[in-house]
Amino acid sequence: MSEPSPLKVWLEHDGALLRLRLDRPKANIVDAAMIASLQAAFDAHRASKGLRGVLLDASGPHFSFGASVDEHLAERCAAMLAALHALIITMVEFPLPILTAVRGQCLGGGLEVALAGGPIFATPEAKLGQPEMSLGVFAPAASCLLPYRVNQPDAEDLLFSGRSVSGAEAKAMGLVQTVADDPEAAALDYFDKQLAPKSAAALACAVAAARGPLIRSLRARLQEVETLYLDRLMKTHDANEGLAAFLARRPASWEHA
């Protein structure tokens, strides 16, 4: 018997809105199965005539706790990064706006997926962050995407500290576009008023025009950070120690090498 899909996929508004819902609460881990399901959904609907937007949200109290730590281990991380980065590129190049509604925690690989879309709608108390540094590693895709969302000092703060920010603080730095108690309703209202009345053909051209610099640079930048992650970081003691310590639920012992 096959495992149920970790992603719910359906169309609304007479086929104008693609709904994608991470559906493995409460953690909604962005693991190989989730990545593959998201990739398949975007691939299947990329050429849908009349589609004018996507709304990505999640079941349960949290958007996502992030990527699978097991899949970050040295023997598995190359495959994980390749699949996640292929999904990131697919989302950045998707021809229509991707709206993301965030409740609760949106961390690590979950935030990287959100960053690859368009506007983020979040609750005031949502927690967004890249906690990878606490595990002795760094966030490759977020290193490329965050500077496009916020200024460089704020991007470096989030990437270096590993701290999470509230939805309200994320709004102040430009990471979140809209703060609302019901982010899904706010995103749907935005779609209804701002996207649904538009031409899908014109929207596709507008997305390509607005995202041109990001699209041109992202493939090269992702390859650079992926190489740094695999060929340098994962050869350090501390990266392997941090991941092992997290899985064993013990404090990490850093050697700073």
Residue 117 maps to a domain? yes
Output the domain CATH number for residue 164.
Answer: 3.90.226.10
Domain that holds residue 32: 7-182
Residues 42-59: tens digit of each pLDDT: 999 999 999 999 999 999
pLDDT for res 1: 58
Give percent above pLDDT 70 in the chain: 99
pTM of the model: 0.96
Q: Look at the chain and report how many structural domains it folds into.
A: 1
Contacts 24+ apart (CB under 8 A), 36-39: 36/83, 37/5, 37/6, 37/7, 37/9, 38/7, 38/87, 38/113, 39/83, 39/86, 39/87, 39/90
- Residue 234 domain-assigned (yes or no): no
Look at residue 140 in the predicted model and tell me its pLDDT: 98
| pLDDT tens-digit series, residues 66-92 | 999 998 898 999 999 999 999 999 999
Kindly provide the residue ranges of all beta strands, DSSP E only, lying in 103-174, ordered along the sequence. 105-107, 120-122, 127-129, 164-166
Kindly give the interhelix angle for 212-231 and 140-149, rounded to the nearest 10 degrees: 150
Domain contains 90: yes
